[in-house]
Amino acid sequence: MKTLRSLYLSRRFFVLLGAISAVFFISHYYILLYAGAKISLICLIAFLSIDIFIIFKKDKIRAERKTPEKLSNGDDNFIQIRIENKYPFTVNAVITDELPVKFQERNFEKKLVLRSSEKAVADYTVKPVKRGEYWFGALNIFIFSPIGLVSKRYKIQNDIMVPVYPSFIQMRKYELFAASNRLDELGIKKNRRIGHTLEFEHIKNYVKGDDYRTINWKATARKNSIMVNLYQDEKSQQVYCAIDMGRVMQMSFEGMTLLDYAINTSLVLSNIAVNKKDKAGIITFSKEIHNLLPAESKYTHIQKILEVLYNQETTFPESSIERLCAVLNHKITQRSLVVLFTNFESVSALKRQMFYLRKLAQKHLLLVVFFENTELKKITDSEAKNITQIYNKTIAEKFAFEKRQILIELKRYGILSILSSPEELSINTINKYLELKTIGKL
């Protein structure tokens, strides 16, 4: 029964069978044609029997699907299929992988030609847009012999669960560019340091590229070689990412919610802060405080942040910034940078929360990050050709004007803010963090 379940007659078989049947249908008037049809049918059955015998003699295909331990949300993740042909002849292989339902991919198929004893690798990428558990089904491999009348299905690796975490690929990319001093290639601005926010560390010999303004002339005279002062940034400053999980963060852009964009950016920013020797912490809230992870500067703390962010989901009630303000001012005694990821669609919505934002800004350095509606921007940038398009463009420009008014209103009360498109959120937030460190506000 197992052999029968794995047996599939190919299209070539049905074409030949159809041709022979047609000959039988028209050959009852012609004796020689009828005899030829009978011989053809016998040959077809013989070849079919040989094909079944050589394909089903033994299990001669080895294959496995190599998936990462976890997938990165919003990024291309590589999946690898390794396959080896143990048959003594060349086979045609058709690979059909049962992808998780969340990808909505129903036509996945890869074709390979494998010589005897040949090993091959088939790669493909998946791009999840939602955190959570993703279940891969069976890996199906259909093998055709050189005759090609039948195929055998190999069913491998049933039901494998791979979790999708916040974008650790993006986090590592920014970390790598920061370590090699190439953040400008990602759009991160190089800010000239202003003021006296550096701490003296030691004196060293001058090497090419050192700032000549840090030359220590007394040490140079004593050593008879150019010596420079080496400084380091002030350390152990606290950076908290406060993530709004209310209904305003459920809006979706390119398949991902605003919450997921905020979570990915929070992970990147926390990692950059830890690499800058600052302390990073996470707060998630809606109507109440869901998580409060105290700020730490240990690199192992990033794994804790990753685990906290993995389980966050939006809720339907309106978020309480009043509650956030009370908890932050009560539990975090040291002045910290609080990066608040939320979304305001109107000035009236901002004014309902302004009292609590101002109260929070009195004790901490508050940076409000909210989102530009890129779909509306496409409408405002397009040319209106009829009455409906003129109406849509007018409404879109009204909402865009409201966003700019929110920036002005926040600035009027001395609250820092960023209005960003979702795809540029990480770059804009990191730029602001580095700018604040440069000018000594943090």
CATH number of the domain that residue 110 is part of: 2.60.40.10
Verify that 240 and 317 share a domain, yes or no: yes
Question: Which of 179, 208, 233 is at the close of a domain?
Answer: 233
pLDDT band at 17 (very low <50, low <70, confident <90, very high): low
Q: Mean pLDDT over residues 299-326, rounded?
A: 90
One-letter amino acid for residue 212 of the chain: Y
The bridge status of strand 198-205 relative to strand 71-72 is unpaired
Give the tens place of pLDDT for each residue, 264-290. Answer: 999 999 999 998 889 999 999 999 999
Verify that 221 and 355 share a domain, yes or no: no
Verify that 327 and 434 share a domain, yes or no: yes
pLDDT score at 260: 94
Please give the residue range of the domain that contains residue 123.
Answer: 61-165
Verify that 303 and 344 share a domain, yes or no: yes
Verify that 84 and 142 share a domain, yes or no: yes
Verify that 40 and 110 share a domain, yes or no: no
SS (H, E, C) 220-261: HHHHCCCEEEEEEECCCCEEEEEEECCHHHCCEECCEEHHHH
CATH of the domain at 188: 3.40.50.410
Verify that 300 and 357 share a domain, yes or no: yes
Single out the residue of 126, 143, 131 nearest to residue 62, CA to CA: 143
Which helix (H) or strand (E) is 150 found in, with range? strand 150-156
- Read off the DSSP letter of residue 299: T
Structure tokens, 303? 């794994």
pLDDT at 62 over 70: yes
pLDDT band at 201 (very low <50, low <70, confident <90, very high): low
Verify that 326 and 355 share a domain, yes or no: yes
pLDDT at 378 over 90: no
Structure tokens, 165? 């975490």
Q: Which range (96-110, 144-158, 303-317, 394-408) has the least confidence?
A: 144-158
Q: Which range (16-30, 163-177, 214-228, 395-409) has the least confidence?
A: 16-30
pLDDT at 18 over 80: no
pTM above 0.75, yes or no: yes
Single out the residue of 373, 369, 372 nearest to residue 436, CA to CA: 369
pLDDT score at 194: 46
pLDDT score at 135: 93
Instruction: Specify the residue for token string 């939602």.
Output: 130
Verify that 217 and 269 share a domain, yes or no: no
Q: How many domains does the chain have?
A: 4
pLDDT score at 351: 92
User: What is the C-alpha to C-alpha distance for residues 430 and 434, in angstroms, rounded to an integer?
Assistant: 6
Q: Which range (8-17, 142-151, 323-332) has the least confidence?
A: 8-17
Question: Which of 12, 38, 56 is at the close of a domain?
Answer: 56
Verify that 52 and 114 share a domain, yes or no: no
pLDDT score at 387: 87
Share of the chain above pLDDT 70, in %: 79
Q: Mean pLDDT over residues 15-20, rounded?
A: 58
Verify that 145 and 245 share a domain, yes or no: no
pLDDT score at 234: 54
Verify that 282 and 357 share a domain, yes or no: yes
Structure tokens, 268? 């990147």
pLDDT score at 44: 62
